Amino acid sequence: MTLVARDITFGYAGRPALYAGFSLEVAPGERVALSAPSGFGKTTLCRILAGYERPQGGAVTVDGAPLPRRGACPVQLIGQHPESVLDPRMRMEASLAEAGAVPDELLDALGIRDAWLRRFPHELSGGELQRFCIARALAASPRYLVADEISTMLDAVTQAQLWRFIIAAADERGMGIVLVSHSPALTARIATRTVDLAAARAEHAAAGER
Amino acid sequence: MVREEKMTHREDARARHEDAAHRARAHHEQTRHEDAQAHHHHTHAPASRHAHGHHLLQVEDLTVAFRMYDADEPYLTARQREARPIERLSISVHAGEIVAVVGASGSGKSLLADAVMGLFEPNATVMGRIWFDGEPMDAAALARVRGRGIALVPQSVASLDPLMKVGAFVRGAACGCGRARREDAARRTRRQRELFARYGLAPEVEDLYPHELSGGMARRVLLCCALMDAPRVIVADEPTPGLDLELAVRAMDDFRAFADAGGGVMLITHDIELALRVADRVAVFRDGTVVEETAVTNFAAPELLEHPFSRALWHALPEHGFAAGAGAGSAYASAGAPSRGGEAL
C-alpha cells in the first residue's frame, strides 16, 4: 500500500543532478510535506512521483509495482499552474471526461457550477480551473495525491474549503498525500510529516564521503 | 477618464466627456486630502499622507462590463446581455505606499489590473475615472504610460514568450538608430544584469528559455521586466505564488523598497499574511467591488474589521482556525478537521 521512491537520481541535461540516491516512503493516510528552497527540484520530484518524468536511477513503486505505463496512474499530480495542464481548445466538460465519469457529488462539493462546464479554460479564473484539476485527479481514484502548491492562486476562504475537502476525501479513501507549500502555517495545518530535501541531499553527500 | 474612446466613437460624446473630465479634475483639486479624513471613498493610514490633490494612482467608480451572448438561451437566437464583473470600484494608491487588494479568486481582481493598465478586451466597456500622478487619464493616455509610468507584474508565467531567451525578453527592444540604438541596447543590458543580480538570478539564467525556469525564477523574471523602465506605480497581480517563503518575503521587501523610494504599489494577492507584512493599507475585494479599505493594523483582530467578508478571510487563515466559511465545507469539517492549532473551528 505504500508509495516508495527508492534511490532516485535525476538531473536536467547540462546541469548538476538535482538529487542522487533520494528515497521517500509515504504510507496510506499520511500527509507528507516536501520542503526546500526555490529551484531545488520540488516540482520535479512531484513529477517523478506521479510518473511524468522517469528518474535516471532508482524507481517509484506503489505496492511494490512500478507505475503503469498506460491507464490512470495511481499517483495523481495536481500542479501549480492549472492553466497549463488544460487543453485551451477543449471545453471544461471534455477535459473532465478525460478522467472517466466524474460523480456529480464531487463537482458540487468542489463548488463547480454547471455553467462552467461549457466554457473554455481562458473563460475561468485560476482558482476555478484548479477546482477542475482537483475533480479530475480525484475522479481517477488515485491511491496517492501529489499536491504541488495547489492553493497559491486561491483566497484564504477557498483555500480552507478545498483543503478540507481533499483531506476529508483522503481520509475516506485511505489516500496518501504529498504536498508542497511555501506557507509554513498551511504546512503545519495539513502535514503529518515534513521531509527536507536540502537536508536529505546533505545527508546523502555525507554518507557518500564515509 | 476611461470612458472608452474605443467604444464610443461619436465626437459629441467625446466633447462631453472632456468637459466632464475638466470639471471632475477641478473638483478633485478642491478636495481636502487630510490624514484619516474620508475622501474619494478612502481614508489614510498614518504613513500614507500626501500632498494636496496628488494621488499617484486614483481609481473612482470603475465599472467593467462585457457584452456576451446569453448562455442559457438557444444557440441561434441567444440575445446579447451585459455582465459587470467590476461595478463602481474605488481605490487609491499614494506615493510611498503599498495597497494590498485581497479577495476571493474569480472576483475580478485581475480585471482591475487590466483596467488600470488600459488593457481592454474587444467586447469590454470600461467606465469610471482614473488619475495617474494627478492627471486624469483616458484609454490612450493609459496606453502611453503602460510599462513606463505604470508597470504590471502579471499573474501567469505564460506571459513570458516561450521562444525567447529570458534575458532578451527582459531587455526588450532598444530605441533610436545607429549609435544611439547601440548605446540604448548596452544600457538596457546593464540594467537587466543589474536587476538579475539584485533578484538572485544567476548570469547564465539570461540564456535560458522560460520552460527551463522554476516557478520562483519565472516570477522574478517577470518582476525584472516590470522594473526595467523605472515605473512610478507597479501593479502586481499575484506576484508570489511559487516562491518559497524567503523569496516571497524578499519580493515583498523589494516592493517595500520601491514604495519607500516614492513609488506606489497595488499588490493584488490572496496571501494575506504576506500582504500584511509589507502593505500600508488593505482593500478587501469581493464580487467586483472593494467592500472595505482599511489600515493594516486593523487586521490584528477580527473585531476591528467592518465587513463580514473581511472577518471570514481572517478566520480562514491557516493560523486562525482555517475556517471554511458558513455552509461550505461544513459537511466535511468533522472528517477533515485537523486537530492541531486548538482554536475553535
Amino acid at the residue A70: R
Residue B136: beta bridge partners? B131
Residue of A155, A166, A179 to mutate for B, most B C-beta atoms under 10 A:
A155
- With 80 as the cut, is the pLDDT of residue B4 above it? no
- With 90 as the cut, is the pLDDT of residue B32 above it? no
pLDDT (tens digit per residue) in B135-146: 888 888 888 888
* Higher pLDDT among residues B339 and A111, named by residue: A111
How high is the pLDDT of residue B318?
Answer: 82
What mean pLDDT, rounded, does chain A reach? 89
**Closest chain A residue to B240 measured between Cα atoms?**
A152
Domain span including residue B220: 160-228
pTM: 0.69
Q: How many CB atoms lie within 10 A of CB A1?
A: 13
- With 90 as the cut, is the pLDDT of residue B214 above it? no
pLDDT (tens digit per residue) in A14-61: 888 888 888 999 999 999 999 888 778 888 999 999 999 999 989 999
**Closest chain B residue to A31 measured between Cα atoms?**
B338
Number of domains in chain B: 1
Report residue B232 as a C-alpha cell. Answer: 512610478
Q: Which residues of A touch B100 (CB under 8 A)?
A: none
- With 80 as the cut, is the pLDDT of residue B30 above it? no
Amino acid at the residue B308: P
pLDDT (tens digit per residue) in B53-108: 467 888 888 999 888 888 777 888 888 888 888 888 888 888 888 999 987 766 77
Longest dimension (CA), chain B: 71
Beta-strand relationship, A65-66 and A57-62: antiparallel
Beta-strand relationship, A3-10 and B57-69: unpaired
How high is the pLDDT of residue B334?
Answer: 33
The answer to whether the CB atoms of A39 and B272 lie below 8 A apart is: no
Beta strand segments in chain A, E: 3-10, 19-26, 31-35, 57-62, 65-66, 75-78, 144-148, 176-180, 193-196
Nearest to B241 among A128, A149, A165 (CB): A149
Q: Which residues of A touch B155 (CB under 8 A)?
A: 126, 153
Report residue A61 as a C-alpha cell. Answer: 513503486
The answer to whether the CB atoms of B156 and A39 lie below 8 A apart is: no
The answer to whether the CB atoms of A158 and B313 lie below 8 A apart is: no
How far does the CA of residue A173 sit from the closest CA of chain B (Å)? Answer: 12
How high is the pLDDT of residue A156?
Answer: 83
Cα A50 to chain centroid distance, Å, stands at 7
Residue B270 lies in a domain: no
Least confident of A19-23, A78-82, B28-32, B118-122: B28-32
- With 60 as the cut, is the pLDDT of residue B235 above it? yes
How far does the CA of residue B215 sit from the closest CA of chain A (Å)? Answer: 8
pLDDT (tens digit per residue) in B277-336: 888 888 888 888 888 888 888 888 888 888 888 888 888 888 787 887 643 433 333 333
Please check whether residue A4 is in contact with residue A186, taking contact to mean a CB–CB distance below 8 angstroms: no
Buried residues in B141-151 as b, exposed as e (16+ CB within 10 A): bbeebbbebbb
What mean pLDDT, rounded, does chain B reach? 77
Q: Coil, strand or helix: which one is B310?
A: helix
Number of domains in chain A: 1
**Closest chain A residue to B109 measured between Cα atoms?**
A125
Distance CA B308, CA B328 (A): 16
Amino acid at the residue A39: G
Q: Which residues of B touch A155 (CB under 8 A)?
A: 102-105, 270, 313, 316
Q: Say which residues have a Cβ less than 8 Å from residue B71's Cβ, sequence separation at least 6.
A: A115, A118, B78
Cα B340 to chain centroid distance, Å, stands at 35
Mean pLDDT to the nearest integer, A161-190? 91
**Closest to A181 measured CA to CA, from B278, B3, B11, B241:** B241
Q: Which residues of A touch B331 (CB under 8 A)?
A: 109
**Closest chain A residue to B156 measured between Cα atoms?**
A81
Domain span including residue A174: 3-209
Give B31's pLDDT tier (boundaries 50, 70, 90). Answer: low
Give me the CATH number covering residue A88.
3.40.50.300
